[in-house]
Amino acid sequence: MADLKLRGWAIGAALLIGLGLVLKGAYPISLFNIVAISMLIAVAFRFVMLIGEQSFATSAFVGLGAYGAGVATTLLDWPFAVALVIGPLVVLVVSLAFGMLTLRIKGPYFMIIGFAFSEFVRIMLTKTAVIGGVSGMPGIFPPREMDPWLPAFVAAVVVALMFVLYLAEKSDYGKVLLAIRDNEDIARTVGLDVLFYKVSCFMIASFCAAVAGSLMAFVNNVISPGDFTFLVGAYALAYVKVGGEKSLFGAAGGAVVLVLLGSYALGLGAGEHLFYGGAIILAMLLMPEGLFGMAGKLCQRIGLKRSAAR
Amino acid sequence: MNAPMTAPGDVLLRTDGLTRRFGGLVAVSNLSMEVRPGEILGLIGPNGAGKSTTFNLISGFMRPSSGRLEVMGRDCTGLSPVKISRLGLARTFQHGSYMKSMNVRDNILVGTMHTMARASAAERARRVEETADILGLTPHLDTIASALPHGLQRLVSIAIAFATRPRLLCLDEPLTGLNQTEVAAALDVFRKIRQEFGATILLVEHNMKAVMNICDRIVVLHHGQQLATGTPQEIRRNEAVISAYLGTRHEH
């Protein structure tokens, strides 16, 4: 197996979790949590891009994850650990069925079905009185003794899942996903069950999106259907495109940059959406490989100049 | 109807009255042919003769309108490409049948993923290196496939198919766009694959000289019909084939 950059991962994880431990003040902590959760949504969205698809069902799965946590905590009084995973487990089943039905089609068609599914789920959430309808569910709290550790816990879960996705991508399994993106027919002619790979990839990504959702529920304490419009998927696409889709680090970095800039853009009111749209367009025009792709090229050029100078 | 010359177990692939219609067009009409173990069988014909359709039919990418397909002695009519490939039939495609964003090593590795699913990573790596060696791709293992010259890209697509170590290797115009030296090298590779690995090869090709040179038997298609079958010598002397390819004298 290729170089896994284990040292880089250890340092990155330590830094992120450490930051989660030392941060003080409600605003920095909430911003930190949102950044971490957005990173997870971004890398989950990008994982489906490995097979060449864009899953706007991501919004629905983030929402189902969040509502799983909400229902388990406020209505059923289930323990935190169960509430955290119940949504993602449900999403595994839902994404299996959704994937089996829809991953036979590709490109824009798959994208549109994802959009439609997300809107369907959101509207169903607004129509269901027992989970609060349009106004959503308040009071989704983690256990009291978790409070000081919550940002570090969020960071740890996010890093762990990112690492799982990274390992999957670098493994033989990940190579098959890329092969399917490049040329599905070849995968078939060498005996690979393309639908199995596509559906499993989609399930893994959807599970991660749902975990992001259930973390979001515990971090914000309040959720409503309005939090899970198709914009969640659109933002995820923006994170990936701005950061650079070539690597998982690009997608995660794009989330960090855009969420931080976006927290400023919040002050712009309705201009916020223009901000994200503008960011995608600018990124695709000026740096087609994203911030991280460009940074990589810059490093290469500096490196080349150095070796030329010798 | 030609009675089969060999017992069912002796034939890797047999089609019986295989037909495919597209609306009013009959792309392949009542094709009955067989591929025998160890041979290199050429499938030739002018443009639009139905060669590619035949290839899609026997590899499961298209379903026949009527007729029967048998692969490795089993009825495979209407089976999916995956199921047929798992019986030991590998194919390439006419246009760019490789993964453009992956390096040559990973391209070939994909070919081993299913057939060597239970093997260790080291065994698979050995298979990849052995395959690259036979096709002369060893110096290019770490090059991204899209960056290779056209001739080498052709070899990569053969390498992927051959990495499955198929009993029957079906090559769709593997020599198109190659220069003379490359063609000669590719023909050597085909012979080597047969000799050292006992693979049988079904070859669709435009390059008549190469086909005459390497094939044991040739099937000629014309307007979806099976025009002739025989050894290169027989085909070369066949009146019907000559007129299909060159036009008859009084047509001029």
Over residues B80-138, the pLDDT tens digits come to: 999 999 999 999 998 878 999 999 999 999 999 988 888 888 999 999 999 999 999 99
Q: Which of A262-276, B199-213, B218-232 has the lowest mean pLDDT?
A: A262-276
Mark whether B129 and B190 lie in a shared domain.
no
Mark whether B224 and B104 lie in a shared domain.
no
Interface of B with A (CB under 8 A): 59, 61, 80-82, 85-86, 90-93, 96-102, 106, 109-111, 113-115, 121, 157, 160-161, 163-164
pLDDT digits 0-9 by tens, A132-142: 888 888 888 88
Assign B251 a pLDDT band (cuts: 50, 70, 90): very low
d(CA B59, CA B78): 10
Assign A292 a pLDDT band (cuts: 50, 70, 90): confident
pLDDT at A202: 97
Q: Which of A1, A183, A193 sits opposite B98 (nearest CB)?
A: A183
Query: Domain limits at B243?
Result: 1-88+167-252
Assign B5 a pLDDT band (cuts: 50, 70, 90): very low
Single out the residue in B107, B136, B165 at which a domain terminates.
B165
Mark whether B1 and B83 lie in a shared domain.
yes
What SS3 string covers chain B?
Answer: CCCCCCCHHHCCEEEEEEEEEECCEEEEEEECCEECCCCEEEEECCCCCCHHHHHHHHCCCCCCCEEEEEECCEECCCCCHHHHHCCCEEECCCCCCCCCCCEHHHHHHHHHCCCCCCCCHHHHHHHHHHHHHHHCCHHHCCCEHHHCCHHHHHHHHHHHHHCCCCCEEEEECCCCCCCHHHHHHHHHHHHHHHHHHCCEEEEECCCHHHHHHHCCEEEEEECCEEEEEECHHHHHHCHHHHHHHHCCHHHC
Show residues of chain B in contact with A193, CB under 8 Å. Answer: 82
Mark whether B103 and B199 lie in a shared domain.
no
pLDDT digits 0-9 by tens, B133-153: 999 999 999 999 999 998 899
pLDDT at B247: 62
Mark whether B25 and B67 lie in a shared domain.
yes
Answer whether residue A249 is part of any domain: no
The enclosing domain of B45 has a CATH number of: 3.40.50.300
d(CA B72, CA B14): 8
d(CA A245, CA A256): 14
Query: Domain limits at A39?
Result: 6-229
Mark whether B154 and B101 lie in a shared domain.
yes
Residue appearing with tokens 């990849």: B128
Mean pLDDT for A64-80 is 92
Mark whether B143 and B44 lie in a shared domain.
no
Mean pLDDT for A53-77 is 93
Split into its structural domains, chain B has a count of: 2
- Residue B134 CA: distances (Å) to CA of B119, B129, B162, B163, B185: 21, 9, 10, 11, 11
pLDDT at A270: 67
Mark whether B11 and B94 lie in a shared domain.
no
pLDDT digits 0-9 by tens, B20-59: 998 888 888 889 999 999 999 999 888 888 888 999 999 9
Q: Is A50 in a helix, a strand, or coil?
A: coil
Split into its structural domains, chain A has a count of: 1
Interhelix angle A194-220/A58-70, nearest 10 degrees:
50
Single out the residue in B147, B165, B183 at which a domain terminates.
B165
Q: Which of A234-243, A292-301, B122-131, B189-198 has the lowest mean pLDDT?
A: A292-301
Answer whether residue A296 is part of any domain: no
Assign B225 a pLDDT band (cuts: 50, 70, 90): confident
- Residue B205 in tokens: 């090709």
> Is A89 buried (19+), middle (13-18) or exposed (0-12) by CB count in 10 A?
middle
Mark whether B74 and B183 lie in a shared domain.
yes
Mark whether B177 and B230 lie in a shared domain.
yes
User: Is this prediction's pTM over 0.80?
Assistant: yes
Show residues of chain B in contact with A187, CB under 8 Å. Answer: 110
Mean pLDDT for A286-303 is 79
Mark whether B81 and B120 lie in a shared domain.
no
Interhelix angle A6-22/A150-170, nearest 10 degrees:
160
Answer whether residue A247 is part of any domain: no
pLDDT digits 0-9 by tens, A116-129: 999 999 999 999 88
Assign A82 a pLDDT band (cuts: 50, 70, 90): very high
Q: Are B134 and B193 in contact (CB under 8 A)?
A: yes
Mark whether B2 and B113 lie in a shared domain.
no
